[in-house]
A and B are shown apart, each in its own frame.
Chain A
């Protein structure tokens, strides 16, 4: 029995795949549990959404109404955060939301692997968001996009405020990725730690009946984690919308 709560986050080649798949510039590329789960998440969500809307009934089936609800949920979110012209980014935000949501939920299956508990994954997603924001901003406003970094303040404060605004913008991928990654890491570590308590108490002879207490706690934490899994996907998507809104409309509320 392995009681190390961090063991679950180890990225390793899955069984039968001990040899590198290919090698790029001398770096061996393995097919890992990480890659497997990302593939499963991408394929499963794409297949589900494709086949759920296939019947196209007026009175939707359960799957169809799930797909339609997630569509409407994300569309409303983009509309309320960015307005009409933000809907051009619907495919991007929807894909991000569904990918993060499905990764989080697939990670909740006991024995599986949480893709979003890897900072490399969340940071890549967050970098993608910020790159989209930068490209959109410059494409829409040209060099005027840089006005985003100049708040309304007297000139002697601007000397200090412009670097701060710049750093604030550049550190967005960090805060965006760390928020998702830390939530997932904390939740799954907590589950594993309480799981360890159950094993430790269960094998402690006379104290064994006490093992029911951490067991009940795990059930409660599991429910909480399901909520967090959804909430973090939502937060990721809404922050993407907010950043896109700034690039599209160059916020003037300061």
Chain B
């Protein structure tokens, strides 16, 4: 058995490198579609508002049990805080999506320009 041809080995190495970079490029997350972005923003805002209001309502209920009559105050306060949370989460999500799209554009200009 003859010694392996160095040219063939470097060729194999090159092909492997090519394959690996191609695979790494394929694994990068694609930018989400419009409806996904919409769904994401809607749920973030919804969760903030409803969650905040719910937490406030629960705290009111708890305070009522211990004899403090805070009934609507905490709910109103936490509703406002929850809305702020929702808006903050939407802004954060927008930042993430922008970063994702930017990452996809800088690295993904390969063969998949057709779609």
In terms of DSSP, what is the predominant structure of the interface of chain B?
Answer: helix
**Cβ of A231: which chain B residues have Cβ within 8 Å of it?**
36
CA distance A178 to B42 in the complex (A): 10
Interchain CB contact under 8 A, B43 and A179: yes
Closest 9 CB pairs of A and B: A171-B51, A175-B47, A174-B47, A171-B47, A167-B85, A179-B43, A168-B85, A175-B43, A178-B43
Q: CB < 8 Å: which of B27, B40, B50, B88 contacts A168? A: B88
Chain B: which residue is nearest A186 at the CB level? B39
**Cβ of B42: which chain A residues have Cβ within 8 Å of it?**
182
**Cβ of A182: which chain B residues have Cβ within 8 Å of it?**
39, 42-43
Interchain CB contact under 8 A, B36 and A167: no
**Cβ of A175: which chain B residues have Cβ within 8 Å of it?**
43-44, 46-48, 89
**Interface bracket on A:** 10 to 19
Chain A: which residue is nearest B81 at the CB level? A163
Interchain CB contact under 8 A, A167 and B44: no
Footprint of A on B, CB under 8 Å?
27, 36, 39-40, 42-44, 46-48, 50-52, 55, 78, 81-82, 84-85, 88-89
Which residues of chain A from 148 to 163 have a CB within 8 Å of any chain B CB? 160, 163
CA distance A63 to B44 in the complex (A): 38
Given contacts A179-B39, A231-B36, contact A164 B46 (CB under 8 A): no
What are 10 of the A-B contact pairs (CB < 8 Å)?
A80-B27, A167-B78, A167-B82, A168-B48, A171-B85, A174-B46, A175-B43, A175-B89, A182-B42, A183-B39
* Shortest beta-carbon distance from A170 to chain B in Å: 6
In terms of DSSP, what is the predominant structure of the interface of chain A?
Answer: helix
Interchain CB contact under 8 A, B89 and A168: yes
Besides A164-B85, A167-B85, A182-B39, 9 more A-B contacts (Cβ < 8 Å) are A76-B27, A164-B88, A168-B48, A171-B52, A174-B50, A174-B51, A175-B44, A175-B46, A178-B46
* Shortest beta-carbon distance from A164 to chain B in Å: 5
* Shortest beta-carbon distance from A100 to chain B in Å: 16
**Cβ of B39: which chain A residues have Cβ within 8 Å of it?**
179, 182-183
* Shortest beta-carbon distance from A80 to chain B in Å: 8
* Shortest beta-carbon distance from A105 to chain B in Å: 19
CA distance A164 to B47 in the complex (A): 13
